[in-house]
Chains A and B, each alone.
Chain A
């Protein structure tokens, strides 16, 4: 009976000039995410986008749609012949399935076919009566119903729309441009990446590795985290760039005052990110920094560290509490991966008493003791790219085991 799913794009309708482009991008992202469901067909009618189910189980499609950026809401639409008996039966069938979730309801009818023998009012009344008779405990509320059943009577058939299901909102992936995501293996940075992606910023992921202080397992952790985002990334592809950071970290440790170690390290990272951004069409840096969480994330630190860049630094989690971040991490299935206990470069070389209010002048004078630019250029030249895609799980250590099963 379920015919199709109607997709509603929210914020897009505000952007009049680029609306068509946005809708096309969003629709293509949806098609890509639903690639495995071969029976689905797609239709665009004006600003509405329909997924024709063709027998596919709507529940699976819905669980994917709920995660696609740019989708504001959607409804499952069922269809029947345009006569009162069929309309009432279908309405009852739908209500029975959904009725566990609410007590009060309302029926709204739109009669597009003016030749239909009853008025919208009459149709609403008759459907409502049929529902009352067959579902005990149901109450009507025309002003503030918990559930609204929409009926559309047209020449080619009658359509009943289930309750609007909220999507994840945001903007179609990639519609806003690209950003460089500073990704560690922690809880926060991947959540920051998820939120940027949701708001239309396609991400190029940059990870600082310091072998032998950091291990392959730490890198695998980062891969596993990003693979959680690939199904909803632009073209379902995320590039992970691994920057060899050991030499720089050692140079900082050897040449800088101990308490400025973290500050200088972050300044180097930001520089690398900006240089990278300029050669990879990225318009901003994105990271999981949170005000006050660790020494490098006080406002003073952010100021001293941020001074090295002139592109925007987006910190989606800046004002979130840890619990709120953890909640999102669990929702996007990254939490369990993040808590795997492998060192990343941020936990190695940690000073005993990091400077939480670093002075810019002091940071600059510490930096001038050594030529870091050469090491920065070297690190960028030796950066390795790993392409991640939902089709294939990337193993940092190749087991050469593809043929075993």
Chain B
């Protein structure tokens, strides 16, 4: 079994599983109970938050633990926009965002917000100039993902920060799922007002996400309940999840450079194997890219077909478009980049990890080439 779908999720490490068990067994009390046991747990929760802050060198930030990056993104976006309902405000995002951001913006559009969806160029990057042109005195929020999860394009966040700095009332939200713990930032996390990411993409546990936000921001959460986490995410705090989240962050950042180097080699192998070869189009950019992602279109073969065929060879990748007799779901990122339906449907996403081996990569390359030869021939008959 060779797994290349790490962008969907990663296996938790043994250490994290052991830590989760320990916390679940020894610190099972409710962090918000006023007695000693509750206080003991709350102190551990604060410690976890401090670990995250120290690891990412954060100053004057608050942390909310959510159930996923999706709920963290929701909290970030609605947390800001709910205070401006009915005020005709303007918000900006990109066409290549994750659905947990895009669908919030779509929903807010129906609620009266003016929305600008930034285009990307043919390589998958936004242009900061477009932001400057779009900003008005009504603009209150802008959401830009750090690393696109379909093709791996690293957006020019430091340029975005420079633009946003000129407008102090404008809040910057960055979906950091593909970058935190994987890519060394060329910007300061402290310059981002709202940052989200999740642990299960970093060999952590599913069911936890985090929103890191500037401490003077008041969030207006959609979730109503008690006063846990200052009312931003009511509900009993998942302490085991939070502690594991902090530990996962710590480990990922510690191993960042080493892992990056390993994965870069694999990425280079893939580029060399498919660049300039007929029938293959590499959708991932060749500059400012995350080596953890490699998106490839095999023209003439549906991505789904390739995926299932690879599956038959016990190799797992993903596709982000679906096409059958009754419906077509086209991946938004690829369409925004190429406007080419065929290329979009024919794409597969290969996501890498330091857990892969070089022989995994070789096998993948050979198998793809073998499949292509086998099935393309058939189609051409």
Same complex: yes
Q: Which residues of A contact B (CB under 8 A)?
A: 215-217, 220, 395, 397-399, 401, 404-405
Q: How many Å from the CB of A89 to the closest CB on chain B? A: 30
Q: Are A399 and B43 in contact (CB under 8 A)?
A: yes
Q: Of residues B34, B40, B48, which shows the largest number of chain A Cβ atoms within 10 Å of its Cβ?
A: B40
Q: Are B246 and A405 in contact (CB under 8 A)?
A: yes
Q: List 18 A-B contacts (CB under 8 A).
A: A216-B36, A217-B34, A217-B39, A220-B39, A395-B43, A398-B40, A399-B41, A399-B43, A399-B44, A399-B47, A401-B43, A401-B44, A404-B23, A404-B47, A404-B243, A405-B48, A405-B51, A405-B250
Q: Are A397 and B36 in contact (CB under 8 A)?
A: yes
Pick the residue among B36, B40, B41, B44 that contacts A404 (CB under 8 A): B44
- The answer to whether B247 has its CB under 8 Å from any CB of chain A is yes
Q: How many Å from the CB of A219 to the closest CB on chain B? A: 11
Task: Please name all residues of chain A whose beta carbon is closer than 8 Å to the beta carbon of B23 when the two chains form the complex.
Answer: 404
- The answer to whether B219 has its CB under 8 Å from any CB of chain A is no
Residues of chain B in range 1-34 having any CB-CB distance to chain A below 8 Å = 19, 22-23, 27, 34
Q: Are A215 and B19 in contact (CB under 8 A)?
A: no
Q: Are A399 and B40 in contact (CB under 8 A)?
A: yes
Given A404-B47, A405-B250, CB of A397 within 8 Å of CB of B243? no
Q: How many Å from the CB of B242 to the closest CB on chain A? A: 12
| Whole-angstrom CA separation of A271 from B22 in the bound complex | 49
Pick the residue among A215, A404, A405 that contacts B34 (CB under 8 A): A215
Q: Which residue of B lies closest to A342 (CB)?
A: B34
| Whole-angstrom CA separation of A216 from B39 in the bound complex | 9
Q: Which residue of A lies closest to B38 (CB)?
A: A397
| Given A397-B39, A397-B43, A399-B43, 14 extra CB contacts under 8 A | A216-B39, A217-B34, A217-B39, A220-B39, A395-B43, A397-B36, A397-B40, A399-B44, A399-B47, A401-B43, A404-B44, A405-B48, A405-B51, A405-B247
Q: What is the interface size of chain B, counting residues whose CB is below 8 A from a CB of the partner? A: 18
Question: How would residues 57 to 96 of chain B score, 1 for a CB under 8 Å from any chain A CB and 0 otherwise?
Answer: 0000000000000000000000000000000000000000
| Whole-angstrom CA separation of A398 from B43 in the bound complex | 9
Residues of chain B in range 207-236 having any CB-CB distance to chain A below 8 Å = none
| Whole-angstrom CA separation of A398 from B47 in the bound complex | 13
Q: How many Å from the CB of B243 to the closest CB on chain A? A: 7
Q: Which residue of A lies closest to B22 (CB)?
A: A404
Q: How many Å from the CB of A278 to the closest CB on chain B? A: 35
Q: How many Å from the CB of A97 to the closest CB on chain B? A: 21
| Whole-angstrom CA separation of A395 from B36 in the bound complex | 11
Task: Please name all residues of chain B whose beta carbon is closer than 8 Å to the beta carbon of A216 when the two chains form the complex.
Answer: 36, 39
Q: Are A405 and B47 in contact (CB under 8 A)?
A: yes
Task: Please name all residues of chain B whose beta carbon is closer than 8 Å to the beta carbon of A398 when the two chains form the complex.
Answer: 40
Q: Which residue of B lies closest to A403 (CB)?
A: B22
Task: Please name all residues of chain A whose beta carbon is closer than 8 Å to the beta carbon of B19 when the two chains form the complex.
Answer: 404
Task: Please name all residues of chain B whose beta carbon is closer than 8 Å to the beta carbon of A397 when the two chains form the complex.
Answer: 36, 39-40, 43
| Whole-angstrom CA separation of A215 from B34 in the bound complex | 9
Which 8 A/B pairs are nearest by Cβ-Cβ distance?
A: A399-B43, A399-B40, A397-B39, A397-B36, A401-B44, A405-B51, A397-B40, A399-B44
Q: How many Å from the CB of B210 to the closest CB on chain A? A: 16
Q: Which residue of A lies closest to B23 (CB)?
A: A404
| Whole-angstrom CA separation of A380 from B250 in the bound complex | 46
Task: Please name all residues of chain B whose beta carbon is closer than 8 Å to the beta carbon of A220 when the two chains form the complex.
Answer: 39
Q: Which residue of A lies closest to B26 (CB)?
A: A400
Task: Please name all residues of chain A whose beta carbon is closer than 8 Å to the beta carbon of B48 when the two chains form the complex.
Answer: 405
| Whole-angstrom CA separation of A346 from B246 in the bound complex | 39
Task: Please name all residues of chain B whose beta carbon is closer than 8 Å to the beta carbon of A405 when the two chains form the complex.
Answer: 47-48, 51, 246-247, 250
Residues of chain B in range 294-341 having any CB-CB distance to chain A below 8 Å = none
Task: Please name all residues of chain A whose beta carbon is closer than 8 Å to the beta carbon of B51 when the two chains form the complex.
Answer: 405
Task: Please name all residues of chain A whose beta carbon is closer than 8 Å to the beta carbon of B36 when the two chains form the complex.
Answer: 216, 397
| Whole-angstrom CA separation of A401 from B240 in the bound complex | 13
| Whole-angstrom CA separation of A217 from B247 in the bound complex | 27
Q: Which residue of B lies closest to A402 (CB)?
A: B47
Task: Please name all residues of chain A whose beta carbon is closer than 8 Å to the beta carbon of B22 when the two chains form the complex.
Answer: 404
Task: Please name all residues of chain A whose beta carbon is closer than 8 Å to the beta carbon of B243 when the two chains form the complex.
Answer: 404
| Whole-angstrom CA separation of A41 from B27 in the bound complex | 46
